[in-house]
Amino acid sequence: MGLILFSCNGQETKKPLTKNQKMDKQNLEYITFGGGCFWCVESCFNMLKGVDAAISGYSGGHKANPTYEEVCTGETGHAEVVQIAYDPKIISYEQLMDVFFFLHDPTQLNRQGNDIGTQYRSVIFYKDDAEKLKAEAALKASEASGRWQGKYVTEFAQFEKFWPAEQYHQGYYNNNPTQPYCSAVVGPKIAKFKKHYGELGMLEADTE
């Protein structure tokens, strides 16, 4: 039987999170990064305790209000990213970084598996020098852990602007679990994520 490959274009911290802790939506912080196709990344982050919302979108390019089709050409300079609003009293920046490096292979340059192009690059957008230092430390810790074999090629870039993706991309996997790319690529990643972070007590009860 031949292997069918689908692309997105083709339509450890072990500290448990506090259970039942109420999120402080008045003091949310934001983090934006790209780790390949945003359908998987968004779905997983929305399952975490302490995350108010994970929104798929575009960042790091030179065109205002880019469309999905434009970003997929690789000519706008944007990466597919997810912007996460989170309560740092419930989930830390370092824990979010751990999930980020779990969900994609940061040793692959400008690609994730069969998804190839600069729009799929591994990238962390930082808001200031202090956050850049935290991101660099998180990368070094993940690289030293041996989770992925090889040198990490994750890009660090100053955050400038986040453009939300079209509405049909939001919650895409939940709405389209049987779409070929979702069933072949996203679904297995989510299952692996749920097993690992469920055991660490980091998932909302209704997602475990």
Question: Alpha-carbon distance 126 to 31, whole Å?
Answer: 7
Residue 158 parent element (H or E): strand 155-158
Handedness of CA 72, 118, 28, 88 (dihedral sign): positive
Cα maximum dimension of the chain: 54
Long-range contacts: 130-135, Cβ < 8 Å, 24+? Answer: 131/93, 132/156, 134/93, 134/94, 134/97, 135/97
2 Cβ contact list (under 8 Å, min separation 6): none
Please report, for residues 41, 49, 97, 157, the alpha-carbon distance to residue 35 in angstroms, rounded to integers and kept in the order given: 7, 20, 11, 14
Measured distance CA(163)–CA(83) in Å, rounded:
9
Cα gap 36→104, rounded to integer Å: 7
**Active-site residue, from 8, 37, 72, 182:** 37
Nearest of 33, 68, 79 to residue 54 by alpha carbon: 33
37 is annotated as an active-site residue: yes
* Residues 6 or more apart in contact with residue 113 via CB below 8 angstroms: 36, 105, 185
Kindly list the catalytic residues.
Answer: 37
